[in-house]
Amino acid sequence: MNLTVEQASLLVERLSRNIEHPEHDIVLCPGFVAVFPLAQVLRQRGLDKLFALGVQNLNDHDEGAFTGEVSGSQVRDFVSYAIIGHSERRMYYHEDDELVARKLAAAVRHDLTPILCVGETLIQHDAGHAQQVVSDQLAEDLDGLTAEDAASLVVAYEPIWAIGNGKFDSPDDADVMMAHIREVLAGHFDAATAKKIRILYGGSVDDANAASYLAVRDCGGLLVGHASIDHEKFARIAHA
């Protein structure tokens, strides 16, 4: 919940000056109030070739009496991605895996590429349960999705204990977990489908550590949090 519409537009303008020819996909996920204005800015200035847009959350219903919520049918004309099950949604709004599965299905239903977030808490990590927690999350979250549905799926590993508190997951540990995620995806779908699914790392990523995580074998990108609202840091991450 950062940046006004004006600030978000200025951020995109500054980013476009620093990232003229991106070698990778760059997806910007602003707050809901900035989605439509940014979509217009990107189209009018031809920046939609540089940046894709996504939403930070999505309701599991397509329409109805759900005051304050936003559905896939309302945003599908402006965005291509939807973050589902972010750690903050799970922690602060008590979203469980059953709800996350329904939201995931809603994203697929509206042809949005879902960015599914999974990850363990500090207590779970210290108890040695990290892999089991992530396996259980994936099993429930992906319930009902076919291999065809999963072809465009993105999975983001968020070690919750390493977000915003100065703690860091080592690239070696991230390597082990992301390989585990790939293995779980292969068991849930099949090896060919699992190979197509992009896995992101998202634990306190900044411009100082981005390259080390991107070097991890199964890492197909980064889910950037606070560093994304600093155009200089985000540009350096993009160039990493």
User: How many Cα atoms sit within 13 Å of 135 on the Cβ side?
Assistant: 10
**pTM exceeding the 0.85 threshold for the entire prediction:** yes
pLDDT over threshold 70, residue 146: yes
* Whole-angstrom distance, CA of residue 54 vs CA of residue 149: 18
Catalytic residue among 95, 110, 120, 158: 158
Query: pLDDT value at position 203?
Result: 87
The pLDDT confidence band at residue 162, using thresholds 50, 70 and 90, is confident
Question: Has 158 been annotated as catalytic?
Answer: yes
> Which domain CATH number covers 119?
3.20.20.70
Question: Has 188 been annotated as catalytic?
Answer: no
What residues are paired with 52 via a beta bridge? Answer: 27
* Whole-angstrom distance, CA of residue 34 vs CA of residue 224: 18
Query: pLDDT value at position 165?
Result: 65
Tell me which H or E stretch contains 47: none
Note the pLDDT tens digit of each residue in 166-207.
Answer: 667 899 999 999 999 999 999 999 999 999 999 999 988 999
The structural domain count of the chain equals 1
User: How many Cα atoms sit within 13 Å of 7 on the Cβ side?
Assistant: 11
167 contacts 151 by C-beta, under 8 angstroms: no
Note the pLDDT tens digit of each residue in 19-49.
Answer: 877 788 999 999 999 999 999 999 999 999 9
- For the sheet containing 81-84, what is the strand order? 27-28, 52-55, 81-84, 113-118, 154-157, 198-201
pLDDT over threshold 80, residue 143: yes
- For residue 52, the enclosing domain spans 5-239
